[in-house]
Amino acid sequence: MCGIVGAISQRPVAAILLEGLRRLEYRGYDSAGLAVLDANGSLQRLRVLGKVSGLAEALDATPVNGLLGIAHTRWATHGEPSTENAHPHISHDRCAVVHNGIIENHERLRAEQLAAGHRFLSQTDTEVVVHAIHDALAAGQTLTEAVRQTRLHLQGAYALGVIDGQHPDCLVAARQGSPLVIGVGFQEYFIASDVFALLPVTNRFIFLEDGDLAELRVDGLAIWDANGDPVERPVRTSTVAADSAERGPYRHFMQKEIFEQPRAIADTLEGRLASRTVLPEAFGVEAEAILSGTRGVTIVACGTSYHAGLVAKYWIEAVAGLPCQVEVASEYRYRKHVIPDGHLFVTISQSGETADTLAALRLARQGGYTSTLAICNVPESSLVRESDLVLLTHAGPEIGVASTKAFTTQLTALLLLTVNLARHHGLDAEQEAAAVQLLRSLPSQMEQVLSLDARIAELAEQFVDCQHTLFLGRGEQYPIAMEGALKLKEISYIHAEAYPAGELKHGPLALIDEDMPVVAVAPNNALLEKLKSNLEEVRARGGKLFVFADDQVPMQEEAGITVVRLPQTDDLIDPIVFSIPMQLLAYHVAVLKGTDVDQPRNLAKSVTVE
Ligand code: AGP
């Protein structure tokens, strides 16, 4: 998604802006640009189609100098990826805007502005914003007033950074539905879409709320809330290290993040387990009253986080004996609901800024859910701030667009939730102690599975030339098959589908031939024999099988069947352990195909628009 950086300082800002954009690259983008106000108050703008490195080259060739500027990485929504559509957008050579989000009423505003004589140079929804600000400035308003006035006409979601040649001493920012933070320096301020962009210059942040308008000057900061009243927002110190977004010795961030999983899970469990119990305090002080009264769970999320929710449904119903429903947020937010009595509403999100998930949470709160829990990886995110209870996954920054450690830490958190709920619904002390022991064993089990890396890299060669793949699983491994298919399609661009293996004969079996590799997730559990029968159906039709099985599964390698052995674990934690080979397979296929593993085409890390 689009990334915003801005700075007002007593030192030149171009390098700060450029480094900020580089650190936002992981969000996904197609073009980049910046605008800096020089000492004469004139705007200097550079924009490129493609990578931030291209913008850096343009900057080398045409240096821009100034103490105030804004910059942007664009992820196209309205108008193709092109230099003309790249931000910042400028009106009448005086004011410049960067925008993340979507202006929903841009067509009507564009028609009005065209009629009033404005000339449009892009196809973006953003350009109406800068022309509206220009008109307010031309009518004699200050920059802050002009942005405030413009907002009255905007519908949709936005984070904005605005500068103007006739206001060389201020940077104005606004937030409505898209994330924006202010970085607090010594006699300098910054804005950005997330804290990573600014970690080299500060670790002190103010997280703007929806509706906020901010005026940044070197000697101070003013913020107004959605009602236009001046507000003080707390300054928080981030504990994220500036180098946490570095790749280290790994070839890709995704690879680094796959290998970080034992540590990420250990960190997620840290402080949440006693020797034989899940600590009730893990969910916050008010949690016990809520969890003990919970009679069911509704989970809403998107993408990989949704898959984590699907696994949790199996756990919550089997272990806690409570009903659990799971839905993708983009569907949930646009239908009428029956709110089940006593249900806890759970959102799952790596970023905590996913527009659909956030909208679903707000809808659930308005609709009557009295208790909400966010399982999230970003402590300062909107989702965390708007939920009653929070269970943070301590995965650390996840930069690769393909979610890996965020997923397994979400599963770990959901298992903590399951055990906690189950304690109030019949799980006895021995059973809880056994679950705690399994949770504790996770990091070392993950290490063992990671040692399959070389074997899976070899196997990946057999997938490189295929057009389609099928992933099969049963029970709680079905969502793991879904996640395996999602990983493969998003980074290798190979079409991948997942099915519960029992559904094969109801349609997908027609697809099977020697060109269709079939991946099966096969731990030694109660459904193994059923799964084996389904795999026989595939073999009988000439399908090529790749089975990920634990070492207790009686299945031999032979022509048409490749078996990858994982160490035996327990049913309860199998979904977490079996996620790793799915991730490694997708990773190695993508590397062999030479795709952009960390920033796959058309995708964004943090989906802050609908
Ligand atoms: C998965 O690899 C994707 N990056 C995507 O499906 C992601 O899980 C989804 O966009 C939800 O993001 P969130 O967890 O930040 O809400």
Domain CATH number, residue 320: 3.40.50.10490
Ligand 1, atom nearest to 357 Cα: 16
Give me the DSSP letters along 161-175: EEEETT-TT-EEEEE
Contact between residue 572 and residue 588 where contact means Cβ atoms under 8 Å apart? no
pLDDT exceeds 80 at position 243: no
pLDDT digits (tens, 9 = 90+) for 272-306: 998 899 988 788 777 888 999 999 999 999 999 99
- State residue 242's pLDDT score: 67
> With the C-alpha atoms ordered 338, 342, 348, 352, is the resulting torsion angle positive or negative?
positive
Ligand 1, atom nearest to 302 Cα: 11
Q: Which of 237, 254, 280 is the last residue before a domain boundary?
A: 237
Q: Is residue 605 part of a domain?
A: no
> From the CA of 351, how far away is ligand 1's center (Å)?
8
Are residue 475 and residue 541 in the same domain, yes or no? Answer: yes
- State residue 102's pLDDT score: 87
Are residue 388 and residue 250 in the same domain, yes or no? Answer: yes
> From the CA of 306, how far away is ligand 1's center (Å)?
8
Higher-scoring residue by pLDDT: 209, 174: 174
pLDDT digits (tens, 9 = 90+) for 363-420: 999 998 989 999 999 988 899 999 999 999 989 889 999 999 999 999 999 999 999 9
Are residue 22 and residue 166 in the same domain, yes or no? Answer: yes
Are residue 288 and residue 228 in the same domain, yes or no? Answer: no
Contact between residue 359 and residue 333 where contact means Cβ atoms under 8 Å apart? yes
Give me the DSSP letters along 412-473: HHHHHHHHHHHHTTT--HHHHHHHHHHHHHHHHHHHHHHTTHHHHHHHHTTTTT-SEEEEEE
Are residue 316 and residue 178 in the same domain, yes or no? Answer: no
- Pocket of ligand 1, candidates 258, 330, 391, 403: which has the most ligand atoms within 8 Å of its Cβ, to mutate? 403
Q: Is residue 437 part of a domain?
A: no
Q: Is residue 264 part of a domain?
A: yes
Q: Which of 207, 237, 267 is the last residue before a domain boundary?
A: 237
Token representation of residue 102: 């979507």
Are residue 98 and residue 200 in the same domain, yes or no? Answer: yes
Token representation of residue 530: 């059923």
Band of residue 7 on the pLDDT scale cut at 50, 70, 90: very high
Q: Which of 202, 237, 272 is the last residue before a domain boundary?
A: 237
Percent of the chain predicted with pLDDT > 90:
78
pLDDT exceeds 80 at position 28: no
> From the CA of 600, how far away is ligand 1's center (Å)?
13
Are residue 403 and residue 498 in the same domain, yes or no? Answer: no
Helix (H) or strand (E) holding 511: none
Active-site positions? 2, 605
Residue 464 sits at φ, ψ, to 5 deg, of: -55, -40
> From the CA of 273, how far away is ligand 1's center (Å)?
27
Residues 6+ apart with CB under 8 A from 348: 299, 300, 301, 305, 306, 308, 309, 357, 374, 375, 376, 410, 414
Chain CA centroid to CA 392, Å? 14
Q: What is the mean pLDDT of residues 45-49?
A: 97
- State residue 605's pLDDT score: 83
Token representation of residue 488: 């493969």
What is the domain extent for residue 535? Answer: 450-599
- State residue 308's pLDDT score: 98
Query: CA 244 to CA 126: how far, in whole Å?
Result: 32
Q: Is residue 607 part of a domain?
A: no
Are residue 76 and residue 203 in the same domain, yes or no? Answer: yes
Q: Is residue 307 part of a domain?
A: yes
Provide long-range contacts, Cβ within 8 A and 24+ apart, for 426-433: 426/321, 427/319, 427/320, 429/276, 429/277, 432/276, 432/277, 432/278, 433/275, 433/276, 433/277
Q: Is residue 464 part of a domain?
A: yes
Band of residue 151 on the pLDDT scale cut at 50, 70, 90: very high
Are residue 538 and residue 518 in the same domain, yes or no? Answer: yes
Are residue 189 and residue 110 in the same domain, yes or no? Answer: yes
Q: Is residue 442 part of a domain?
A: no
pLDDT exceeds 90 at position 610: no
Q: Is residue 587 part of a domain?
A: yes
Domain count, the chain: 3
Domain CATH number, residue 163: 3.60.20.10
Contact between residue 85 and residue 122 where contact means Cβ atoms under 8 Å apart? yes
Are residue 232 and residue 260 in the same domain, yes or no? Answer: no
- Pocket of ligand 1, candidates 302, 486, 602: which has the most ligand atoms within 8 Å of its Cβ, to mutate? 302
pLDDT digits (tens, 9 = 90+) for 329-339: 999 999 998 99
Nearest alpha-carbon partner for 142 in 172, 116, 113, 98:
172
Band of residue 166 on the pLDDT scale cut at 50, 70, 90: very high
> Residue 372 forms beta bridges with which residues?
345
pLDDT exceeds 80 at position 244: no
Are residue 72 and residue 193 in the same domain, yes or no? Answer: yes
